[in-house]
Amino acid sequence: MRIALGISYLGTAYQGWQSQPSGQTVQDRLESALGQFATVPIATLCAGRTDAGVHGLMQVVHFDTDLVREPFSWVRGTNRFLPPDIAVQWAQPAPDAFHARASALARRYAYVLLESPVRPSVDAGRVGWVFRPLDGDALRQGATHLIGEHDFTSFRASACQALSPIKHLTRIDISRRGAYWRFDFEASAFLHHMIRNIMGCLLQIGQGLQPPDWMAEVLAARDRDAAAPTFAPDGLYFLGPRYGPEWGLPERTAAYDWLP
């Protein structure tokens, strides 16, 4: 039987999603908890790997098992063995043809940014921070240059393992609530550090250090050295993948209502 799970996590204490020898990753903790609940080892495949310090509101994984349990048992039983900053939100049987990564039509991220002369405190590790005022119109003008299918080499980390730098970025929405800015991104897929590198460039524009059209120059350069430094992971949230309705999977978790 193939089982799909929706996972939420605070990434601050972890070395990213993907399993590492240290064991200090979200995948390591999830698979350990699944193994304790199922009493047999369970390996998972995810919809999208996240970096160290990046959070997840609805990471989706799948695994195959001979163990027959009700969906609520997978949720409650696994959560019993997980630390407080990781939780299974839902579980659902899935057809054998379903694949958490390959079946995804798109992936969604949000970046939450605090604009304040004073650094974050109660939200430390959960938001990015900029102390200079931002120009929303300039931010949005700069972002328009990235919409569509492009070669995003300028925003790609040197360690990126993607086969191609060409991705289709379908949406960047920028909104503000009080001192907090929210940047929503949706694309077919993302390169390693792509959003954090885009954020670095957007903030150069928003602070008036570069004009909005500079983003087009960075994109056209296809050179990582042309872009701004990689921005902090703190405010980045993986909202989850989008799947076709044929799979019948949830599109959100309760944490969506908490995020600014």
Please give the pLDDT value at position 163: 86
Rounded Cα gap, residues 235 and 112, in angstroms: 5
Do 62 and 100 contact (CB within 8 A), yes or no?
yes
CA distance 125 to 245: 34
CA separation for the pair 122, 100 (Å, rounded): 34
The answer for residues whose C-beta is within 8 angstroms of residue 75's C-beta and 6 or more apart is 88, 89, 90, 91
In which residue are the tokens 């120059």 written? Answer: 217
Nearest CA to 5 among 81, 97, 98? 98
Summarize pLDDT for 37-51 with one digit per residue, the tens: 999 999 999 999 999
Residues carrying an active site annotation: 51
Q: Which two tokens stand for residue 142?
A: 């700069």
Cβ(18)–Cβ(25) below 8 Å: yes
pLDDT at res. 161 = 81
CATH of 106-237, one of 3.30.70.660, 3.40.50.20, 3.30.60.50, 3.30.429.10: 3.30.70.660
Largest pairwise CA distance in the chain: 58
Q: What is the pLDDT of residue 33?
A: 98
Quote the CA–CA distance of 72 and 177 in Å, as a whole number.
36
Question: Kind of pairing, strands 236-242 and 106-115?
Answer: antiparallel
Parts of the chain with a pLDDT under 50: none
Tens of pLDDT, residue by residue over 9-29, are: 999 999 999 999 999 999 999
Amino acid at site 259: L
Identical topology for domains 2-103 and 106-237: yes
| pLDDT tens digits, one per residue of 54-85 | 999 999 999 999 999 999 999 999 999 999 99
Whole-number Å distance between alpha carbons of 68 and 239: 29
Contact 37, 81 (CB under 8 A): yes
pLDDT at site 168: 96
Structural domain 2-103, CATH architecture: 2-Layer Sandwich (3.30)
Domain ranges (residues) in the chain: 2-103, 106-237
Answer yes or no: are the C-beta atoms of 224 and 153 closer than 8 Å.
Answer: yes
The answer to whether the CB of 9 falls within 8 A of the CB of 79 is no
